[in-house]
Amino acid sequence: MKKMILSLATVMMMGFSVFATGNDDNVSPQTRNAFKKDFVTASNIRWEQKSNFSKATFTMNGQILTAYYYPDGDLQAVVRNITSDQLPINLLTSLRKEYTAFWITDLFEISSDNQTTYYVTVENSDKKIVLKSDSLASWDVYSKERKTDAE
């Protein structure tokens, strides 16, 4: 009876362990090894395998990050949501000056190929605008849409 309870407990713990770390069965060993090397202190790792990339969502230094890998294990990009006070000062100043009548609904940075690109979504009652900056000096309109009244 003791062995049966111990076996059941072991099986349950292994099941919880797989659930907590995400399903990485379909992720290539090269990708898993590259991730472990790139993000040594990562925890709460969840993997998603797509047709042409692997996506790892994880926690590191108190932040939730997402890393995208090519099938051969090369890192494509790392994405993290940020707050406006984490923007470079030039971008924050520009945003506050040019979009005073808007509020921020989404803000994230993408690091790829030794370059950081910022995307911010600003909205008011009439418009939704997505801005992009990779120059750290100014914003470019990435997309713009007019809101319609719900009837």
Q: Is residue 123 over pLDDT 60? A: yes
pTM for the predicted model, two decimal places: 0.75
Alpha carbon distance 121, 144 (integer Å): 10
pLDDT of 137: 86
The tokens describing 89, both together, are: 């000062």
d(CA 117, CA 95): 15
Residue 118: pLDDT over 70 = yes
3 state DSSP class of 86: helix
Q: Map out the domains of the chain with their CATH numbers.
A: 2-81 (3.10.450.360), 84-146 (3.10.450)
Helix boundaries (H) for the chain: 2-21, 29-38, 89-98
* pLDDT above 60: residue 143: yes
Q: How far is CA 120 from the centre of its chain?
A: 14
pLDDT of residue 151: 45
The answer to whether the CB of 109 falls within 8 A of the CB of 116 is yes
**What are the distances in angstroms from CA 80 to CA 19, 43, 74?**
23, 15, 19
pLDDT digits (tens, 9 = 90+) for 18-66: 344 455 668 999 999 999 999 999 999 999 999 899 999 999 999 999 9
DSSP at 85? G
